[in-house]
Structure 1
């Protein structure tokens, strides 16, 4: 399209349009190169992780129930699909955007936090028809995700405070108070400078925040259901309490050995007869396997796409 317009003199009559088009092409190429580099790093991380995994142990513990796999698939896709709904509303993003958002999730998990957002930004910049200025929207979605997570953490901590204060679950009071301070201060800063931080309209921000809350509650509920399907001797209500406490522990920023702390919580609530450590190892291994498969698949696809555009 660019060559045809140039040949007919349409762009030559408008030097500004010519420079803007050329700048857009350069930015698209830079975005594609950055995305390809992240995909290459992701493939290296996948190879390293695959080399040290004990697949036999993980597979032996996985339930064969189709219901488990259906729930796990929904639980795994809740994050990318909820973000796709957000960007579909903002930019009319195509269904293929779910793949880009899955790759964003895996990049954050396997490589570096928020590197996935940078790669998703590059993916959007490589498709100029989606948004002329995607940075503001991606920034707002990311900040609101952190803010809603902080609000949920404080609500969970208020409900679970008698258990935390008892000291029976191994959650140190000093680390809890310091973590709570970090959560409160970061939330206060976001609210204080919201006029400068956010670029989207108020109704869009409210919609995004509401969808983030739905995602959090869905992850907690589906996580409890997954554990119940593995160990049905424990009531689903108790698994729901544990799933909520696990999310609370995972979101406290300065609490060390989060898995150890959660194992202590499970022992207090369930007793020693339940193999919580084995359950956590199985679920963690299963999630990692899916991350590796998704990362490898989309990493290769991105490299192929980048090479075909040269």
Structure 2
């Protein structure tokens, strides 16, 4: 599955497979976020906004935390809650506590918000809401992880404080409901001789392309019922885009643009196997494991 120099080669199995392993395997989903700005997986809704200076974005009154992915192309903005205003002006992950909040935008560029898929204000806005009219039996439902340590409030984890480390897989942060992995920027296409096909037993992966272009390679295992078989997929997507990869498909993504390419991987609930690796989750001191 992984080359020996890939940090993931030492991972242990995160969870036991869900009991319903005879259920149909869901199809992968692919979205150009310029035309489908709100999409969902089973446990998370992703909202992509091409924000403009002066925009006032209403997040609604949420039952769970809101996460905001801030990239190098994102504008500065202010998070407004009942406790006051927090200025964000650098790439990283912002976590907003439950309740009402707004975003005051101070420039032009993309902002990506993550909310739990049970939030009434967002779940039915997704372009692919019909795909989750019923829960996918192979995907574990979200059970929130423990409350964060310390006083409630807006938390910001800037990428500038965390240099890349080849011994660690990306730069990983978690909340009670999400795990976000900022993978390193890659110059030019990925070596086709060094891909990393792998699978997950019971969780979806959202691969968010924020720069460049990727080819998502997906192979669906055969079940006894051949009418449910799928052909291999090799889907090319530019940015911004997201691929929603279902379990237990074998998958790998290859950067293909000659310039800069970057993926951000999103999981809900947080991954236990990543969390068990010492030093991998960069805000583990504030967000404890179950």
- TM-score tier by shorter-chain length is under 0.3
TM-score normalised by length of structure 1: 0.25
- Which one has a larger percent strand, Structure 1 or Structure 2? 2
What TM-score do you get using the length of structure 2 for normalisation? 0.26
Structure with greater contact order relative to length (CA < 8 Å, sep ≥ 6): 1
- The structure whose residues are more often helix, as a share, is 1
Bigger-Rg structure (1/2): 1
